Amino acid sequence: MSAATRWTHCMPAPNGPYRLVTSFVVSFVDYIGLVCVESERYITVMKSTTDIISEGMTERGVPFLLIGGMALPAFNVVRQTIDVDLLIATGKECVLQEVLIAEGYTEIGRTENFVRYASLSIYHADVDVLLIDEGTFEKIMAESHSFNTGRAFFKVPCAMHMIMLKLHAMKNNKSREIKDLGDIVEILRNSREVLDEKELDDICSRYGPEGIYLKIKDAL
């Protein structure tokens, strides 16, 4: 017996048009309840974007790294994000494409070093993929560590490599500076990994935009 039906059993029996109205209300409330239950059931069993990527790539034995906002909690930093950002060797991106397309994703943008995928499902996040050469990827992977997102384990870059990636992104896209500068500062403040001033100055000079080292130092 539904909640709406139980409620009507406690009320005096209506007559005439009131009986019709009550019957309609009960039916409508029962219908909404059924829809909510079925929707909850669907959301629960549906794979998340991170599930799709983790399971698909692990089954195929292809390494990749979680970067971007979803990787920040690995450094004790929390920032709201709606995309899944990945790092993968250029020659292996076709495997990731296969995994995503099989789950309803479509490629919506591509450059030499970047690919974006989107899903028609409102429950699946966009996936942004940064492509790098095999040798560089292996170096970053060798110093990476595991991170549990709560649903799956991912490899994330070490703090230095994460900062390098953000510096590189800033250098190539000025509009990212405020967001990525904030992330770098929070990583340096909260990460258990320690970078000395010389290391930080060196990677800022090599990968970041001009003057970024002083901006980071001022913000710390």
Helix (H, G, I), strand (E, B) or coil at 10: coil
Tens-place pLDDT, residues 14-59: 555 544 444 443 343 343 343 343 444 334 446 899 999 999 999 9
Beta strand residue intervals within the chain, DSSP E: 65-67, 84-89, 105-110, 114-119, 127-132, 145-148, 153-156
Cα–chain center distance at 57: 16
With a cut of 70, say whether residue 109 has pLDDT above it: yes
Q: How far apart are CA 220 and CA 217, in angstroms?
A: 5
Tens-place pLDDT, residues 152-189: 889 999 999 999 999 999 999 999 999 999 999 999 99
Tens-place pLDDT, residues 56-69: 999 999 999 999 99
Cβ–Cβ < 8 Å for 200, 216: yes
pLDDT at 145: 94
Residue 70: name the closest of 169, 178, 152, 173 by CA: 152
As a whole number, the mean pLDDT across the chain is 83
Please state, for a pLDDT cut of 90, what percent of the chain lies above it.
Answer: 67
Answering whether pTM is above 0.85, one says no
Question: Is the pLDDT higher at 10 or at 153?
Answer: 153
